[in-house]
Amino acid sequence: MVRLTVNGQPLVLPWQPTVADLLDHLHLDRRRVAVEVNRELVPRTVHEERRLSDGDVVEIVTLVGGGEEWDKPLRIGKHAFRSRLITGTGKYASYELMRACLEASGSEVITVAVRRERLFDSEGRNILDFIDMNRYTILPNTAGCYTAEDAIRHALLGREILAGYDNPGAGWVKLECLGDPKTLLPDPIATLQATERLVKEGFEVLVYTSDDPIMARRLKEAGAASVMPAGSPIGSGQGVLNPNSIKIILEYLKEGDPDYPVIIDAGVGTASDVTIAMELGCDGVLLNTGIAHARNPLLMAHAMRHACEAGRMAYLAGRIPKRRYASASSPLEGLIE
């Protein structure tokens, strides 16, 4: 397995490619690009022979006209990110696999749970040993909390830990206040109470909620930096079960505030679920189980990354209207009679 940085983004490949292999993998026309490896130009004549190594930094450039990038950054509170995919760190078979999947996903933000048990695994290793704290913005979450009081305690402890690393994630929290262990759906009253108190404590609160538009609006009014409705129950893999409610949430929360971030959180099972969420107009997707429990987690991490980008592009491009009847794509003029 080879870990590369390509145009500033992590890329993990299961084999050691040549420069030509990499360009083919990225579907790039070799005639239209120039390539640097570790700040050294690689002439086109040696693309077939120049083999890449673990840790190489690759820059691929082409000629373009003037203009802007196709999308603006995702802004959540004081933070700004290019990637709109947020990934979790739980449920992986090993820390090594987790690290590789995080890289493959292209995520800039990753979530971690605040726990006192199992600080170290059977080999004496801590999860933080496998996370580059200078590369990722850490989003501590209050997973497993069932009361506002417990969620607030976990948030304060998470902030204290990240402050020691000078990580920019020290000032925010992903808030979960669960209602019961079977559905893992949020307790709306406890969630609202905790949001109000954490905002007063100076947190930027990204809050997990149901797909209830009224509750979503209340949470924004309470000061949440982002409202994160569930597509379906946590870990269920059912995707976005109620797209109409998500559309109403987007309408309510973005009225007069079009850049307010609404992020789908929970229930994503495969890449098409991510694309659907993004095509609805959501600003991002947070997921964990969909990658960690896939048959091939590393391959699924790549798929989720591309699905998030494709869904965002499709939303910005605008789909054609749905019609009851057919509409010929070929011109009718000039038919042979």
Query: Annotated catalytic sites, by residue?
Result: 174
Burial class (CB in 10 A: 0-12, 13-18, 19+), 33: middle
Rounded-to-integer distance, Cα 294 and Cα 98, Å: 12
Q: Which of 268, 262, 267 is nearest to 281 (CA)?
A: 262
Where would I find the beta strands (DSSP E) of the chain?
A: 2-6, 9-13, 34-37, 40-42, 57-61, 74-76, 79-81, 85-88, 109-113, 137-141, 172-175, 204-209, 226-229, 263-265, 284-287
What is the Cα 93 distance to its own chain's centre? 20
Measured over the CA atoms of residue 135, residue 268, residue 94 and residue 159, the dihedral's sign is positive
Rounded-to-integer distance, Cα 126 and Cα 322, Å: 51
Rounded-to-integer distance, Cα 308 and Cα 296, Å: 18
β-strand 204-209 against 226-229: which pairing, if any? parallel
Rounded-to-integer distance, Cα 208 and Cα 28, Å: 39
What distance, in Å, lies between the first and last C-alpha atoms of the chain? 61
β-strand 109-113 against 85-88: which pairing, if any? parallel
* Helices H / strands E in the chain, number of each: 9, 15
Give me 149's structure tokens.
């009081």
